[in-house]
Amino acid sequence: MQSTYFHTEIKNGIEYLIIENEVATCRISLFGGHVLSFIPKRDNRDRLWVSPLAFLNGERPIRGGVPVCWPWFSDDHGQEKGELPAHGFLRTQHWAVKQTDSTETLSKVVLIPGTTKGKGFEFDASVELIVEVGESLTMTLVTENTGDVPFSFNCALHTYFDVENIKDVELKGLYGEYKDKLSDWEILNTPTAYIIEGEVDRIHLEAIPSVVIERDQSDYIAIESSQHDSLVVWNPWQGAATMSDMDAFSYKQMVCVETAITQGKQLLPGEKCAMRQKVS
């Protein structure tokens, strides 16, 4: 694909879609339907983080950017851990470009996975990832029940945000209760001053509409979410050293704030859910 605003390239067996207009650039791996980079030209600073040790050969999910988790989140698939792939099976599929459209300041692409059926989910469904690149990055994950029976699913836009130093970061706008994976899923209250000082793996159980990541005193990332039921906050801290696709100190440059459905969303035949995350 070659046009004014869109072009593709292939590297190490992965096809990438590059979007560039007058206000921003964006890079998407069609392996996984995976947004890897969003750089507004007003400051030329990437909002997203990709691990320098990420596998970029199509053999494993990519660490960083915005992995698409569907039709379950983490290992919440009703079977023993390891029986099915964590976060579902869409992030290891090749996605196709269904539609593109662009003006000078807003470019849109619609991506679709090769299949939405796999072990653990045999229902009739369609999925689209709509990516809009302008002054902000908007990603909409649309799930439709195309069958004759209801089904339930979970999903997430598992976004890794780029920060210079995690010790300078404060999250603002989170509230309510969260489930703490590190404390055997104990239900705890959101801290008033939300800073990251160690490993964090939390599912905030509110449809919080907006969160701000203060990267330092003069810089921030704004996140707006809709049609979700949770926000997930994750940083592996020194646990990064045990991961083959992260180096021991890369936890200092990233934090995940994930727009998610983790409490189960039921769709009746013909119904749709359009979960959206906007990053500015």
Tell me the pLDDT tens digit for each residue of 91-116. Answer: 999 999 999 999 999 999 999 999 99
| 8 A C-beta contact, residue 54 and residue 62 | yes
Rg over CA atoms, the chain = 18
pLDDT digits over 144-180, tens only?
A: 999 999 999 999 999 999 999 999 999 999 999 999 9
Among residues of the chain, what percentage have pLDDT more than 70?
99
- What lies within 8 Å, CB to CB, of 44 at 6+ separation is none
Residue from 200, 176, 195 nearest 187 by CA: 176
The DSSP secondary structure of 145-199, one letter per residue, reads E-SSS-EEEEEEE-PEEE-S-GGG-EEES--SEEEEGGGTTEEEEPPSSEE--S-
Residue 187 confidence (pLDDT)? 98
Separation CA 224–CA 159 (nearest Å): 12
Q: Is the pLDDT of residue 75 over 90?
A: no
Q: What's the CA gap between 221 and 211, in Å, rounded?
A: 8
Q: Cis omega before residue 71 (within 30°)?
A: yes
Cα distances from 53 to residues 31, 36, 103, 230, 244, in angstroms, run 17, 14, 35, 29, 8
The pLDDT of residue 149 is 98
Q: Domain ranges for the chain, please list them.
A: 6-279
pLDDT tens per residue, range 16-38: 999 999 999 999 999 999 999 99
Looking at residue 184, its pLDDT comes to: 96
- Three-state DSSP at 63 gives coil
CA distance 77 to 116: 15
Average confidence score pLDDT of the chain: 96
State the Cα–Cα distance between residues 164 and 52, nearest whole angstrom: 14
Instruction: Report, as an integer, the average pLDDT of 128-155.
Output: 98
Mean pLDDT on 242-270: 97
pLDDT (0 to 100) of residue 218: 79
Average pLDDT over residues 241-253: 96
pTM of the model: 0.96
Is-contact 64 36, C-beta < 8 A? yes
What is the rounded average pLDDT of the residues 61-86? Answer: 90
Q: What is the pLDDT of residue 1?
A: 65
- pLDDT confidence of 69, banded at 50, 70, 90? very high
Residues annotated catalytic, as ranges: 158, 258
Instruction: Classify domain 6-279 by CATH number.
Output: 2.70.98.10
Q: Answer whether 253's CB lies under 8 Å from 49's CB.
A: yes
Lowest-confidence pick of 71-85, 204-218, 250-264: 71-85
Query: What confidence tier does 216 reach under pLDDT thresholds 50, 70, 90?
Result: confident
